Amino acid sequence: MDKKYTIKDIAQMAGVSKGTVDRVLHNRGKVSPAALEKINEVLNVIDYEPNLIARNLKSTKVYRICVLLPDPVFDPYWLPCVNGIQDAIKEFKAYNVNIEIHYFNPESTKSFLKTNEAIVAQSPDAVLLTPLFHKETIEIIKQYDELGIMVNTFNNQVESSSIKSFVGQDLYKSGRVAASLMNLILPKGQIAIIHIDESLKNAVHMQEKERGFRSYFDEKNLSDFSLTTLKLKYSNIETKLPAFINENPGLSGIFITTSKAYQIASTLSNITDEKIVLIGYDLIDKNVSFLNQGLIHFLIHQNQKRQAYLGVSTLVEHFLFRKDIPETILLPIDIINVENASFYIS
Amino acid sequence: MDKKYTIKDIAQMAGVSKGTVDRVLHNRGKVSPAALEKINEVLNVIDYEPNLIARNLKSTKVYRICVLLPDPVFDPYWLPCVNGIQDAIKEFKAYNVNIEIHYFNPESTKSFLKTNEAIVAQSPDAVLLTPLFHKETIEIIKQYDELGIMVNTFNNQVESSSIKSFVGQDLYKSGRVAASLMNLILPKGQIAIIHIDESLKNAVHMQEKERGFRSYFDEKNLSDFSLTTLKLKYSNIETKLPAFINENPGLSGIFITTSKAYQIASTLSNITDEKIVLIGYDLIDKNVSFLNQGLIHFLIHQNQKRQAYLGVSTLVEHFLFRKDIPETILLPIDIINVENASFYIS
DNA sequence: CATAAAAATGTGCTCGAACACACATTTTTT
DNA sequence: AAAAAATGTGTGTTCGAGCACATTTTTATG
C-alpha cells in the first residue's frame, strides 16, 4: 500500500492533465470548481508525497547561506564550528546550495559590523549568526529582516522576533550539571566560580551558568558550602589568581564558566600542590590535556561542531525539502571526564 | 572554481558524445584509445562529481533492507531502536528504499532463526542484525553471505569476516567510565558488580563491562576497595539480593552491567535505608524514575536509538550514494545523572 | 450574434545520469 | 569477394516536478 504516486498518476485518476494537478497542488493559476473537486477527491484517497529528488533536480535556484563566525585564529573555541559547517557543505554539495563562512574578530564590534555588511551586500537567502555582541546584533537583525533574509542563531541566545531559530545549550541547566558533579566530589568546602573574559561579550552566557550553578546548591540548602564569584581577565590571571588562593586557603573547588579552564589549571599547578577540583567547559586541546593529567576533573561539552552543523542543516533542509525550522534546538549537556573524552573529540 | 560539470560538459570539452563519456566513466562498452585519452585529459583537469540527485531519479532499482530486532514487547530496552529505524525510514522515504523491521523473541533462539528464515526468503539487499545469539548468528551470517546479502550488526559485536559493519559502544571503556564515576563518589569500600540476565545471551556484553570496570581499579592500585561479582536472574533478585546485602554489610556501591538497574534499586529501597551508590545502563523509563528519586546515581547511555539509526543509514547511503561503510562506529559513552538526563530522552 | 477578453486546461520542455538502441565503420570469417 | 561479426560512436528516451507557453473553453460586451 506504500506505492508512490506521481502527479501524472493523479492527473490520470482525476481525468485532467498534470498541469491542472500542479495548479491545485501549488495554488497557482485558476482552476474550475469541478476540476478542483475531482482532484481533491483523488488526493483524499491516496497519499501523495512529491518526489523531492525530482523537485531538486529541476530547480535551478541556488540557495545561498552565509555563516557569520568568530575567526578561530583569535579563539580556538570556534574551530569545531568550522568543521561542523564543512560537514554540512560536504553533505549538501550535490544540491543547489552555496554555503559560505565569513569570519570576524571576536574582540571587535567593528569587525562584526563590517563582516555583516559584506554579507548583506551579497544578499543571501539566509544567515547563520553567532550573535556575540548583543546591541549590534539587534541592529543587524533589523537590517536582515527588512531585506527578507532569514536569520538563524547559534551558541548565544538573543531575543528577537525576527530570529527564526536558535541552536545551543541550556546554560542554566549546564551550570546545574557542573554543580551536581562538584557536589559529588566535594561534600563540603569553599567553591569559586570564575569568569574569564576580556570584553564581557559573553556576560549573559557566564551569568546563566553561574545562576544554574548556584541554584543547585541553594536548593540543596547545603550550608557546608560557600560560593564565591571571581572575575578574571586573561591578562591578570597570573597575578590575581595566586592572590585569591592565598586569601582563601580553604578553597577546594573551582567552576570555570568559559572554555579557559586550562589557564586556571596551568596557573594553579605552578602555585600549589593542593588538590583543587576543576570543572570547566569545552574539549579544546589544552583542556583535554589537563583533563588527562588529572588537573581538570570534568568538562562540559558544548558541542559547537554540532551546533554549527545543525544551524546550517536545518536551513538547507528548510529550503530544499521545506522542512520546518524548530524555534530552539537544545543540545544535550555532555559530561566528560578522562575516561570518555576520546569519544567526543572529532 | 566550484562549478559543477555535467557529462554533457565533458562530452563537449572532449569533442565526443555524452554516450562515449558515459562509457568511459562506467567502463562499459568499448572506447577507442583516442577518445579515451581525450576524455581522461578533460577529467584530469576538471573535478567531475556525478549529480546524485539525477542518478537516483533515474534508477528504478528499489533497495530492500531488513532489520532483525528483538521485540520490544519482551524487553523495553529495544524500544528506542524502533524509533531510530523509523527516523531513517522517514528520512529516506523519498528514495527507492524499502526498510522493514522483523521482530523476534529475545528469549528464544528458535524465534531468532525463524525470523531470519523469513528475511532470507525475501532476499533483501542488506540486513541489519542484532546478533543476540552467538552460535546461531554465525550460522545465519554464512547463509546471508552465500546469498550475497550484506550484513551489518549493531549493539552486540560478533567476529566474522562476512560482517561489513558494526555500530555500538566500546563496552570495556564504558565499564571504565562507570568505575571512574564510582571512584569519584566512593573513596573506598566494597563494591559489587551485578549481572542480571536470564539466558546469558548477553554474557560477552556483561563480561566486557566488568573487565573494564575492574581494570580501572586495578590500575589505580586502590587497595581500599574490594570488588565482588554477583550473578542474578530476574526471578531470584528478591531473595538473593537481600541475602547478599546481609552477608556484606559494608557494601557501598553496585555496578549493574545491564539495563535492569531499576530492579536492584527497587529491591534495595525495600530492604535498607543505607545509601548504596548505584550505577547502571540505559535511559529506560524505570531507570530514569529511580535516577530522579536519587536512588540511582549515574546511568550510562548506550543510545540504542542512534545505533539503530546509524546501522540503517550507513546502508542506505552506501546503496544510494555509494558511500563507504565504516567497519566500526563507536558511539560516545554518555554519562547521565539527574541533571542532564532530560536532554537525552527522546 | 459576433468578437474580444478572460478563464481554464493541456502540452511540452528542462534538469543530469543512465542506458538501450541504432547506425557506421572496421575486422574477421567462410 | 561477400557475408558475418566485432567494435566504436552518437542519438534519444526515461525518471518526476515545475513551469512557460499554447490551446481550448467560457464569459462578457457592444
The mean pLDDT value of chain A amounts to 91
Q: Which residue has the cell 554540512?
A: A88
pLDDT by position in tens, chain B (length 346): 467 899 999 999 999 999 999 999 998 888 899 999 999 999 999 989 898 888 888 877 889 999 999 999 998 889 999 999 999 998 888 888 999 999 999 988 999 999 999 999 999 999 999 998 888 999 999 999 999 999 999 998 888 888 889 999 999 999 999 999 999 998 888 999 999 976 656 677 889 999 999 999 988 866 778 899 999 988 888 889 999 998 998 899 999 999 999 999 999 988 877 789 999 999 999 999 999 999 999 999 999 999 999 999 999 999 998 899 999 999 999 999 999 999 999 7
Q: pLDDT value at position B233?
A: 87
Percentage of chain A lying above the pLDDT 90 cut: 67
What average pLDDT does range A89-116 have in this prediction?
Answer: 91
Q: Are strands B334-336 and B298-301 parallel, antiparallel or unpaired?
A: antiparallel
Where are the domains positioned within chain B?
Answer: 7-50, 63-169+304-331, 171-301
B5 touching A (Cβ < 8 Å): no
Contact B44, B21 (CB under 8 A): no
- Give chain B positions within 8 Å (CB) of A51: 57, 94
State the DSSP string of A192-260.
Answer: EEEEE-SS-TTHHHHHHHHHHHHHHHHHHT-TTEEEEEEEE-GGGHHHHHHHHHHH-TTEEEEEESSS-
Interface of B with A in 164-193 (CB under 8 A): 170, 173, 176-177, 179-181, 184-185
Taking only the tens place, the pLDDT of each residue in A199-213 is 656 677 889 999 999
Q: Which CATH number fits domain A171-301: 3.10.520.10, 1.10.260.40, 3.40.640.10, 3.40.50.2300?
A: 3.40.50.2300
Is B177 close to A340, i.e. CB distance below 8 A? Answer: yes
Taking CA–CA distances from A170, the nearest residue in chain B reads: B343
CB atoms within 10 A of CB B27: 7
- A20 CA from C4 C1′ (Å): 25
Contact B205, B156 (CB under 8 A): yes
B62 touching A (Cβ < 8 Å): no
Percentage of chain A lying above the pLDDT 70 cut: 97
Residue A51 makes CB contacts below 8 A (sequence gap 6+) with A4, A6, B57, B94
Taking CA–CA distances from A180, the nearest residue in chain B reads: B339
Q: Which nucleotides of D are covered by protein (CB under 7 A)?
A: 7-12, 14-21
* Helix%, strand%, coil% for chain A, nearest 5: 50, 20, 30
Lowest mean pLDDT among A134-148, A158-172, B65-79, B197-211: B197-211
Strands of the sheet with B63-70, listed across from one edge: B97-104, B63-70, B126-129, B150-154, B163-168, B328-330
Nearest to B277 by CA among B259, B286, B260, B264: B264
Specify the higher pLDDT residue, A178 or A97. A178
| Top-tier CATH class for B63-169+304-331 | alpha beta
Superfamily of domain A63-168+304-331: Response regulator (3.40.50.2300)
Strands of the sheet with A298-301, listed across from one edge: A225-232, A189-196, A251-256, A277-281, A298-301, A334-336
By three-state DSSP, how is residue B167 classified?
Answer: strand
Distance CA B324, CA B304 (A): 22
Is residue A270 very low, low, confident or very high in pLDDT (cuts 50, 70, 90)?
confident
Distance CA A113, CA A246 (A): 43
Q: pLDDT value at position A1?
A: 45
Contact A256, A192 (CB under 8 A): no
State the DSSP string of A96-120.
Answer: SEEEEEEEE-TT-HHHHHHHHHHHH
CB atoms within 10 A of CB B161: 7
Q: How many whole angstroms from its chain centre is CA B196?
A: 21
Taking only the tens place, the pLDDT of each residue in A233-258 is 888 888 899 999 989 988 999 999 99
Q: Are strands B150-154 and B126-129 parallel, antiparallel or unpaired?
A: parallel
State the DSSP string of B192-235.
Answer: EEEEE-SS-TTHHHHHHHHHHHHHHHHHHT-TTEEEEEEEE-GG
Per-residue CA distances from B74 to B59, B70, B71, B270 (Å): 40, 8, 6, 26
Nearest to B200 by CA among B159, B232, B168: B232
Strands of the sheet with B225-232, listed across from one edge: B225-232, B189-196, B251-256, B277-281, B298-301, B334-336
Q: pLDDT value at position A199?
A: 64
By three-state DSSP, how is residue A36 classified?
Answer: helix
Specify the higher pLDDT residue, B178 or A50. B178
Q: pLDDT value at position A58?
A: 84
Nearest to B157 by CA among B170, B144, B145: B170
- Residue A232 bridge partners (DSSP): A196
Q: Which residue has the cell 531507570?
A: B287
Q: pLDDT value at position B235?
A: 84
Per-residue CA distances from B159 to A172, A186, B134, B325, B332 (Å): 45, 44, 9, 17, 21
* Helix%, strand%, coil% for chain B, nearest 5: 50, 20, 30
Suggest the residue from B92, B278, B340 to mutate for an interface test with chain A (most A CBs closer than 10 A).
B340
* Helix residue ranges per DSSP H, A30-108: 33-45, 52-58, 79-91
By three-state DSSP, how is residue B128 classified?
Answer: strand
B94 touching A (Cβ < 8 Å): yes
Among protein residues, the one whose C-alpha sits closest to the C1' atom of D8 is: B31
Domain A63-168+304-331 shares a fold with domain A171-301: yes
